[in-house]
Amino acid sequence: MRAAIVDCHCHLLPEIDDGPGSLRDALKLASLAVEEGITDAICTPHVVPGVYNNTTEAVRIAVAAFQCELSRAAIPLTLHTGAEIRITGDVETRLKRGEIPTLAEGRYVLLEPPADVRLPRLDAYFGALIEAGYLPIVAHPERLLWAGRHIEEIIGYVGLGAHLQVTAGSLVGFFGREALRLARWLLETGAVGLIASDAHHASRRPHLLGDARRLVEALVGWREAERIFVANPQAVLAGHPLVLSDQGGRRPLNKFRFSTQFIRPIEVAR
Ligand SMILES: [Fe+2]
């Protein structure tokens, strides 16, 4: 039997956020996911108050409807509910009320800090969520515009019990040199908990998991690649604890090592 390959962060559902704008586009993106070897996708539409007001109920309905469309189109992909939740003051309350979704109805919560503003006391914020029984996963920290100046703080979240989700495209240069530099930095320090696609569109924002996996194997080896691409995403789906890296974030940081001068970002049709 084929091992489950779980994508814990993707925007597959049609017309619910900035993912596919039509059912046709969504089916194309789902087909690409299968081509990438993905068997299970946790659908994580944005929850951003006033912009994307997605609720647990709305996501469940959209997942069930799109699962039917996948069956009709004979696309072998199993969907699960989830959300990418913008960090705001009321997230814990809304989670407790069941208003906004966890990942696959478990304890893991995918949280998106604001990209351009560093919120104070995020460590305390994650600590309070953990105290309340949730397991925070920080969505693509390498893409935060303030991450380069505060990388030690971000790595420190792992010590609190939070996890870092790096996006596959960042590792291959799809989001520019700074995201690439920071993604590789997190990878080399052993701070990455899992990789996900954050796919939005078949050509404009594809999965790129295969490209990223080849690169990660070359950089840190098969075992580490298996942990962050396969074992930990499976653990999120199953509600099991994530396995931390052997490096455990203890590998010393070397800011000068991560020059991307000689790395050519891959080209993807837009
Ligand atoms: Fe996302």
Decide if 184 contacts 141 (C-beta within 8 A): no
Q: Give the distance (Å) from ligand 1 centre to CA of residue 255.
A: 27
Q: Give the distance (Å) from ligand 1 centre to CA of residue 195.
A: 12
- What's the confidence (pLDDT) of residue 2? 64
Q: Give the distance (Å) from ligand 1 centre to CA of residue 11.
A: 6
Q: Give the distance (Å) from ligand 1 centre to CA of residue 152.
A: 23
C-alpha to C-alpha distance for 42 and 199, rounded to whole angstroms: 11
Q: Give the distance (Å) from ligand 1 centre to CA of residue 10.
A: 6
Q: Give the distance (Å) from ligand 1 centre to CA of residue 19.
A: 9
- What's the confidence (pLDDT) of residue 33? 98
CATH class of the domain comprising 6-238? alpha beta
List of the chain residues with pLDDT < 50? 248-270
Number of residues written out for the chain: 270
Q: Give the distance (Å) from ligand 1 centre to CA of residue 115.
A: 12
Q: Give the distance (Å) from ligand 1 centre to CA of residue 9.
A: 6
- What's the confidence (pLDDT) of residue 3? 79
C-alpha to C-alpha distance for 198 and 206, rounded to whole angstroms: 8
Q: What is the pTM of this model?
A: 0.92
Q: Give the distance (Å) from ligand 1 centre to CA of residue 142.
A: 13
C-alpha to C-alpha distance for 11 and 19, rounded to whole angstroms: 5
Q: Give the distance (Å) from ligand 1 centre to CA of residue 166.
A: 11
